[in-house]
Structure 1
Amino acid sequence: MTPSPDSAAGTAGSAGAQAAATASPAVSLPADPPADPPSGAPVAPFQRRLSTRIVVLSTVALALVLAMISGTLWLSWQLEGGGAAINDAGSLRMRANAVAIALWEARTGMPAQVDAEVRQLDETLGELRDGDPARPLFLPADAGIHAQFERVSAAWTGALKPAALHDLAAGTGEPSSYMALLPGFVDEANRLVSLIERENARKTAWLRISQVALAAVSCVGTMAIVYLLYQWFVAPVQRLQDGLARIEAREFDTRLPVDTYDEFGHLAQGFNRMVAELQALYQDLAARVDAKTAQLAAQNRELATLYEMAAFLNTPGATESVCRDFLTRVMREFDADGGTVRVVSPEDGNLHLLVSEGMPDAITRAEQCMPAADCTCGGASAEEPVVFALRGARQDDATLAQRCRKAGFVSVVVSAIVAQNETFGTFSLHFRREREIPPSGVQLLQTLGRHLGVALMNRRLVALGRQLAVSEERNLVAQGLHDSIAQGLSFLKMQVHLLDGAAARGDLDEVREIVPLLAGGVEESYDDVRELLLNFRTKLGPGKLRLAVEDTVARFRRQSDAELTLDYRDEDGPPLPPDQQLQVLFVLQEALSNTRKHAEALHVHVSVVNGRDFRLAVEDDGSGYDPVEIASRGESHVGFHIMLERARRLAAVLTLDSAPGRGARVELVLPAASRMAA
């Protein structure tokens, strides 16, 4: 097998270099050889592609192996055909003797046996002459063997067979003619068998030689393939490994030899280019690392500032105190000499000075409130902070620029306070020296302005939330007062008017009738006030709903003569959170209050089932009411309106079921989708 030009170049070029490459394949060489062959020197694909080499090598090896295997198979087939020919040629002697025996037996009256034996000997000669590939059976392709076969065939057809037929026709006499020729025929057949055996012995020797040659070729071919694969793959990989080891040891002047034009040659070129770039980069790596370290340090400081500012702005505190601490931290971060925080008035759009640090008193007194157009601090937009240079300001510039310049400030940085596209104001940093803000600092100021805007907006929302909660509670208080105390006071006012008229007329009997009514009304109003105060002061913790329900039921039993039964069942539902428990308790209290005041019931049943859905039901057998009439009255029936409003807060379903003279039922259902775990 012929090695590739690449390996031949490696072997024939320098045996010592190859030995060195085998022991330590990766060596540091000077400059790179050219990546492509010299101009005008064609390079075959076999030299360029490893895949082509592998395919050619595999094809050659396969063709050689198949050829040798085919040769051994051909020899085996020849030996098998020759062996069958030896058997048939040897059977000629047996057939000839069988004919002689048949001739002797023909004297006793069995002539047909002679014809059969003659026919079989003819068939044997015919098979030896024509061959039989199916068995296989054929004479070896040797001229001497074929000549001897012709002599045997001629001896039979020309002499022995006619003698046998003559002796058979002679009758019962002794087959003397046939017996006289038989020894000569047998000798000729023996010589034919000997010739075929010698030819088979020769082919057997060739078969052994071919098998030994096949084994030798296999060993030599395997060694050649291993050697070529080592030269094509292992040696380049070892050179790459050694090169990588040298790069890990920071020997950036390492280069790999590029002596082939295949994939490993291109890989070595790429390796050399990479090492050259690494060498160039490593020369100024220290400066790059220092610059990157400084950049990362600055970014870490910015992130720490943002984290600290976000955590600080999320803590509770007054707006002025939060803005002052915010300004102090920003001034410390940017090393500013002064600063202000101004908010925009939504009514007139003026800037109001909220806090200031490091600013002269003359500026803070003169700029408590001013139009945004008259102030340099009003020039900031929501998109990007603005840097003003005051040293070259003209006399007709804004008043603030003149004041700041007189106070010794040289530069001013103004950033907007923004949240959700709404500008709440601006904050400014004042410097007594020239100051340029890098893009990262500009972005940090913009982010800080947004954080402060979110903090101010959250405090505004918290204040609005408190106002809304107070308004809602005031509404509920007003509804409760209207439903209970207002009606009682109206009754008392009417009775006092009647009492005044009776006293003016001197009608003591009527006075005696009105005074108990006044006392009862005052007592009922007092009870209503105590019940309202108790409801407003009710506070529940997790798992306290059952105790509160039992207290409410006990208070109803003390205030009413109706018999009340309570069925409270905790099934598979989790406990309600305190705010939902409180709303449920308010609905129960309102329902029992309506029953006590208006129903005139004898029996009341309260059912509380805490299952997957929370259910509260209050039933009585009182006088009932007309649902159509209640619906027509709308919000004028304050008790029902309060219960419906609390049900809406819970996202629950409130059902009012009643009829005149048939009692009433109030059912509150809080679905599993609306309830929250405690």
Structure 2
Amino acid sequence: MIPPASGWRHKGGGISDSRLFLPLLGIALALLLLGGAGLTQSGVSTLYVIVNLALMSAGLGCVALLTRLMRRELFLPLAHLRNWALRLRGGNLAARIPVPARGEFAQLAHDINELSEALQVLSRDMEGKVRAQTERIAHKTASLKILYDVAASINGYRDLDELLERFLHVLKDVTGARAGTVRLLTDDAQLRMVASTGLPAFVLESERLVPVDRCLCGSALVHGEVCGTKATGCERFVGQPMFDTPEVEVIAVPLVYRGRKLGIYNLFVDAPGLAGGEDSKDLLTTIGQHLGMAIEKARLDEEARRLAILEERTQLGHELHDSLAQTLASLRFQAGALEEALDGHPALDEARQMRNGVQEAYTELRSLIAHFRCPVDQRGLLPALEQLVAGFRTKTGIAVFVQSEWNDLKLPPELELQVLRVAQEALCNVRAHSQARNVRILLSREAQGICQMLVEDDGVGLTLTEEKPCVESSTGEHIGFSVMKERAQRLGGTLSIDSEPGEGTRVLLTFREPPPPSLAAAAP
């Protein structure tokens, strides 16, 4: 209780301070004077005196009773009313007036107390509404700050994986999550884990690449909405509990852009899930849409870089075709004519060697032009390699088997091009020299980021020596091992060839997966 406000006087002094005190005092003195005057007259009887004293006493008693009633029925309620007003003005909305048992002030006190109760409830409700609105405004402010940060980061990030990992921690803080993951959708309907936080190591090993339609992730992507469920569904696939309590829910935040499904955030939170209700759900949905825009922008930027490289190489191939290829074609025709003209002449062998040399140069140039014009599929390295293998099968009739562990491997466009050219050169050697019936291409990847591409055939094999690692056929056509080795060096890797006559040939390209641009820039 708040103490009485300043100015409160004790209730006992109410009549003495009132203007009614003097008239009452005057009536009492008048009665005393009248009674005294009657008693001082001579010759009055004893009965008169007794009656006079009785009337005087009755009058004084009436004055005293009136004073007491006025104090109890008027001044005391007014004092309570004043005390209530002072307490109310001092901020004590719990102040109440004692309700008399009867009298006019009983109903007034009851009405005033009801008014106080209504005022207190209204104030309490107002404080609650103000507090709720303040919290809502603070939440909206934080949401706008996050959205502004997302929008600003879309144009300023250097690496998409780094951006997604950064906002994984932001979403974890927003939802108060225990753990979280962010995944991107691959071309073969798999969800590749980009980053994680708060999850045990055994979960990361088993959940690095999962089918999109396996659990809640697929449902959230299909509907494009934020949704949640018990984390026991994820634990069923992992095979053991992921957290120390079963009361954990997983919230799926899809990353979409214009209806295109791109990835998903998984946030593991304590039940009952989203604490902010619809506001938090709307925030997560908006963040997912903005980050979906960033993912699509990254894809378009990468495609633009790839197309720029392809355009440059295609233009170079056209230049070679229109200049050097035409010149070599003319020389080949002239060398053939010269060989026919020298039939039977001692210089015929030299003319034939010259024609073979020009033919070899022309063949290698045509192969080089074909390399320049061979496009890298816009979807990435694996689709381009599959397209290359399909064309090889059609042209040669040789069976080619591809085994890949590179489904989630992401290489810069220039490195993808080098890998594709090595595979293309290896297949060209198979077609030209191996007499093989079967070819196997194995794409493997180790946990340390070591990537390998093995191209092996069951052909006639080759004879390799340390002095002549780049084998030449009897016609002088170059196998292209040195060219493949140079491409391997551009990848920062190595290339080896293993072959024996009758045992086929094995070409092995080994390189390390490059770090993200952000990590590479941070390295000393």
TM-score where L is the length of structure 2: 0.39
TM-score where L is the length of structure 1: 0.31
- The structure where helix makes up a greater share of residues is 1
Larger radius of gyration: 1
